[in-house]
Structures are given as structure tokens and as C-alpha cells.
Amino acid sequence: MDTKRWKAAVRRGCVMAVAAVGAVVPVVAQAAPSGPDVSSWQHVDGRLIDWHAVRAAGHQFAMVKATEGLHYVNPYFVPDSILMRTAGVARGTYHYARPELPPEPQAALYAATVLGQNGPLDLPPVLDLEAPGGLSPAALVEWTHRYLNALQALTGRTPIIYTYPNFWKTAMADSNAFTRYPLWIADYSGNEHPEVPAGWPTWTFWQTTDRGSVPGIGGATDVNVYSGAQGDFARFANMSGLFGSS
């Protein structure tokens, strides 16, 4: 990561944190806790996200891409993490898996980048699994077990799995070997409930759209809701005693 770049980004973000943002059509308010997920793509023209505006729009959490494979770190991860905390937005972070590369070093890169996932306002770590990396279903299942075992050992928390129904059915052969992990499912079908892959009794997070509009974020962004499957959201996100669950 370019150190000068992210330090400058933090300084710009501190200004943005207290500045008003332009008019943006917000996502319709959800009864359940909701939040966007973002990567470098949401930093249009290098602009930082106004996380205070995100929180003011009613979103309690956000998922932020941290790493990918063995060599990529999101250049906006550090400023996003800092500014989310100042705004009281619970932080989820994820690693985009590259299964063509060994799993344990990827888990180590992610864990070193996020600097722990157990503090106040921290959701559990996330494995973003949507590329097979040329592996057969059996090999990909083994790769996923190895990554999740390493990640849990490094972070001390049970990871969340992000995926989408068709990928799980095909690339993972509809495996039911991972149902102890909370599920974050991407399903844009518009149905009342998302499709849940084999074995999982329910979903924990549902990515309902990849074309959401959220105040404080430039351009379209994914938007997610929390089901309550892991209990009270404030406890799940280590928010209890800080900002409550409202």
C-alpha cells in the first residue's frame, strides 16, 4: 500500500466527516439492520466515503474489502476502517478468495491487514468465495476448509461465508459441510426471501442488490440486511454498551 496515499486519504476523510454531502437518493429504510459493502470501486475519482452520512441514513454496518489473493490490499481499507469507527458504523471486512493460490497465506495476509476482528464495532471476518480458481468441487471444498480453519485460528472468531446460490451449487457441488459458519448470500432475484444453499438452515446476511444508492457513497453499491440469525445485532457486532442496537 502507498503510505502517503492513505495518510492523505485519512486527512481528506476527516474533513468529509463533518461536511454535508450532495443530494443522493437513499435506499429505502429497512426494519432490520442494513448496510452497504464497498471496495475501491466505491471511491469514485479517489473520493472517500462519508461514513457519517451512511450512518445518518440508518445503516448500522458496512462490509469493506480488505484483501484479495496474496498480493492485493484495498488502498482505501485503512481510511474506511478509521472513519467507519468515528461514525459508529459496525465494520465487517472480507477477503476475496483466489483458490488457485494456497489458502493459509491468504488467511495470514487478511488477518495481518485487518489487525484483529474482535474489537468494538467489529463483525466476524468474512471469506468472499465466488471464484473456483480452476479447482474441482472436491478440491475447492478442501481449500475452503483449510482457509476457514486458518482464519478462525488467527482471528479467534467463527468466519462468515459470502457466496451466491449458483456458485455454491456448481463450484462447491452443493456441499453441506459448512453449515456451522454464518451465511452471507447474494441473491438479486427480488423474491421475499433469498435462496439458501444446501444444509444451511437460514441466512445471516442477504445482499439484496448490487445497484443500491446510499448517501455518502459515490455511485452504485451493494446493500445488505441482517436476519437476526446470530441473535442481537449489537452483540454480534461488539456494539453493546457503545451505541446500542438502534
Catalytic center residues: 37, 128, 130
| Cell triple for 126 | 468474512
Instruction: Output the CA–CA distances (angstroms, integers) from residue 151 to 34, 84, 160, in the order listed.
Output: 25, 23, 10
Query: Residue 152: CB partners within 8 Å, gap ≥ 6?
Result: 158, 159
Contact criterion met (CB below 8 Å) for 26 and 202: no
Query: Residue 15: CB partners within 8 Å, gap ≥ 6?
Result: none
Residue 128, helix vs strand vs coil: strand
Give the whole-angstrom CA distance, residue 128 versus residue 100. Answer: 14
- Residue type at 153 in one-letter notation: A
48: left (phi over 0), alpha (psi -120 to 50) or beta: beta
Q: HSE of 233 in the Cβ direction (CA atoms, 13 Å)?
A: 23
Three-state SS string over 133-168 comes to CCCCHHHHHHHHHHHHHHHHHHHCCCCEEEECHHHH
